Chain A
């Protein structure tokens, strides 16, 4: 059932749907992840549980995707285009295991990872009406609290 629904979604809607979990109902429009029965991996799954080789491979892949995404999207004004980029989508698909790398990257080189973090964790710790910088700081505090960032 879930797969059938997801197949019928455009690529954009699949990514956008994952970003809307925390939007109050009165402000919603369009498609939503929880309406579509998209499951997220449990937050309790800690990054350290997988073998080291897997994480080395994951880290290498993450950095290759990051480099590609950063280069290709540097001059986009559209967040839709940024998050639809195949490298961004692949990073989101990596799920919880990529969070330590993602938080480290956000800490060192703040960029448009808020949508990916929201899609992976189902959380949005940034205050409403926050600026981009304020949202980044809120996410970094959240990541430290969860142990994803030292």
Chain B
């Protein structure tokens, strides 16, 4: 696995100021939303051609309300606290001018992990992805672990 993704660093220059780790090869088959809900076989978006997935009845994938609904369906509720809470799994949504651009989920260790578009998966800090490309964290959501167990590592 490569240690750095220079193209990714170009679009997210804050990554150069913080530590990040590439954890997968480039993979076009799933995106950040899919990754955040644990699905590595579908690219989640509401495109009306077969080969993409978007849950029925969920508002447009181009809207923050649509992305928020996805995670509500998966048991998350909105919160203001993105710190590590051992009994909760958390996701954050990055947006620019209310347009959702990216989502990351928190691992049990407290580090954040996400799929970078059609590119690699990485572990990163929240600040590392903030900037002109993905915008900033605008929403934090959490769900309680079931019987003390996380659905996703």
Give B62's nearest chain A residue, CB to CB: A80
Q: Say yes or no: A76-B48 contact (C-beta < 8 A), given A71-B7, A112-B28.
A: no
Q: Does B47 lie at the interface of the complex (its beta carbon under 8 Å from any beta carbon of A)?
A: yes
Residues 75-134 (chain B) with a chain A CB within 8 angstroms: 101-103, 115-119, 133
Q: Name the one of A27, A73, A80 contacting B118, with C-beta atoms under 8 angstroms.
A: A73
The A interface is mostly helix, strand or loop, or mixed, namely: loop
Interface 1/0s, chain A 107-150, versus B by CB < 8 A?
00011101100100000101111111111101000000000000
- A25: min CB distance to chain B, Å: 12
* Interface SS of B by simple majority: loop
Instruction: List residues of chain B with CB within 8 A of the CB of A111.
Output: 28, 118
Interface size on B, residues (CB 8 A): 32
**5 contacting pairs across A/B (C-beta < 8 A):** A78-B101, A80-B45, A118-B49, A132-B51, A136-B51
- A16-B48, A75-B7, A80-B62 are known; give 10 further A-B pairs, CB within 8 A: A19-B47, A27-B48, A77-B115, A80-B45, A80-B47, A114-B51, A129-B50, A132-B42, A135-B49, A136-B51
Residue ranges of A at the interface with B (Cβ–Cβ < 8 Å): 16, 19-20, 22-23, 27-28, 71, 73-80, 83, 110-112, 114-115, 118, 124, 126-136, 138
